[in-house]
Amino acid sequence: MTTGTLITVAPTGAESAKADVPALPVTLDELVTTAKECEALGASVIHVHIRDDEAQPTLDLGRLRDTVAALRESTDLVVQLSTGGAVTDPEADRLRVLEADPEMASCTMGTVNFGDDVFMNRWEFIVELHTRMQERGIVPEYEIFDLGHLASLQRLLDKYGLPAGGHVHVDFVMGVPGGMPGTIEALVACRQALRDLPEGTTFSATGIGRTTIPVMLASLSAGGHLRVGMEDTLTYAKGEPVESNMQLVARAVGFAQLAQRPPLTPTEVRELLRIPARA
Ligand code: KMH
Ligand code: ZN
């Protein structure tokens, strides 16, 4: 059983509007401030979506490069860029994200209904993402929205080999309308399916909306890690909007400590995920 807990913060996402959620970090300054504060609390990885000057989601390469550079300069967090983007982003733009050279990037393992939309991830696109990440030495986090995505991951690794560094890390994204539910049963089913993946495969989990707490507690007790943040959760408790990403990270750290699995540092996470240490 893993001792410490990897805590990822996903502070922004692509779905919420700044006008509806004023606390959402959308500028580079807001993102860097959030990153520093979440790192101080115990986050070790940041899952990054960025916005343009109008606070709309963008995959602009120049902005992504500036974001990676600013986060590296101001924090020791492992920077994980989203290649998922928004449901409207074309595949070519999503692939180009890798040219910003993050340490990690997300790689979603299949198409899923996403509320009223469809989050498209064709097999050929997944293969392209996986192989380009191998070539560039970028460590993937495989995003699992449904049980079948783990079977696709097994197929991907069998046919195209292990990711950069050789370690496999997955993130169960639970409770998306159209994906698997955010329940203990679904989490246990996913964890069982990890038996078919390379030994030592690690997992984190996040529950969207009101599933955040049950998923967090289930993941901790099942030996998994945590992802929290305003990409996934905008209500802290019934009738209580989230005030900041720090509030969510602080709660995750508290649960991890109660579980006697305190937060891992970014250095420990690089060792765990076989990401080269920072120079
Ligand atoms: N915004 C969603 C459509 C990822 O970051 O890789 C996709 C998503 C997954 O958030
Ligand atoms: Zn994301």
How far, in Å, from the CA of 8 to the mean position of ligand 2? 11
Please compute Rg for the chain using Cα positions.
Answer: 17
Q: How would residue 34 be classed by pLDDT, with cut points 50, 70 and 90?
A: very high
How far, in Å, from the CA of 108 to the mean position of ligand 2? 10
Q: Is the pLDDT reported for residue 178 higher than 70?
A: yes
The β-bridge partners of 113 are 118
Using CA atoms, how far apart are residues 89 and 135, in angstroms rounded to an integer?
Answer: 23
In short, whether 106's Cβ falls inside 6 Å of ligand 1 is yes
Residue 56: its pLDDT value, please? Answer: 98
Closest approach atom of ligand 1 to CA 143 = 6
Share of residues in the chain with pLDDT > 70 (%): 99
Taking residues 87-116, report their average pLDDT. 98
pLDDT in tens, 184-235: 999 999 999 999 999 999 999 999 999 999 999 999 999 999 999 999 999 9
pLDDT, the chain, mean = 98
Residue appearing with tokens 């992504």: 64
**Integer angstrom CA distances of residue 222 from 4, 50, 144, 189, 239:** 13, 32, 17, 11, 29
- Structure token pair of residue 59: 């995959």
- Which residue's CA is minimally distant from atom 8 of ligand 1? 84
Q: How would residue 114 be classed by pLDDT, with cut points 50, 70 and 90?
A: very high
Residue of 206, 243, 261 lying closest to 9 (CA atoms): 206
Using CA atoms, how far apart are residues 65 and 19, in angstroms rounded to an integer?
Answer: 26
Q: How would residue 2 be classed by pLDDT, with cut points 50, 70 and 90?
A: low
pLDDT in tens, 43-86: 999 999 999 999 999 999 999 999 999 999 999 999 999 999 99
How many other β-carbons are positioned within 10 Å of the β-carbon of residue 60? Answer: 15
Contact 182, 207 (CB under 8 A): yes
Residue appearing with tokens 């050929």: 124
pLDDT in tens, 258-274: 999 999 999 999 999 99
pLDDT in tens, 136-177: 999 999 999 999 999 999 999 999 999 999 999 999 999 999
How far, in Å, from the CA of 111 to the mean position of ligand 1? 11
- Which residue's CA is minimally distant from atom 10 of ligand 1? 84
Q: Is the pLDDT reported for residue 1 higher than 70?
A: no
The pTM is what? 0.98
Q: Is the pLDDT reported for residue 278 higher than 80?
A: yes
Residue 279: its pLDDT value, please? Answer: 80
Sign of CA dihedral 192, 194, 197, 198: negative
**CB pairs under 8 A, 24+ apart, for 187-195?**
187/215, 187/218, 187/219, 187/222, 187/224, 188/218, 188/222, 189/147, 190/144, 190/147, 190/150, 191/222, 191/223, 191/224, 193/147, 193/150, 193/151, 194/150, 194/170
- Which residue's CA is minimally distant from atom 1 of ligand 1? 86
Beta strands in the chain (DSSP E): 7-9, 45-48, 50-51, 57-58, 78-81, 104-108, 112-114, 117-119, 139-144, 169-174, 202-207, 225-228, 235-237, 240-241
**Which of 16, 106, 114 to mutate for ligand 1's pocket (most ligand atoms within 8 Å of CB)?**
106
- Which residue's CA is minimally distant from atom 6 of ligand 1? 84
**Which of 89, 95, 108, 146 to mutate for ligand 1's pocket (most ligand atoms within 8 Å of CB)?**
108
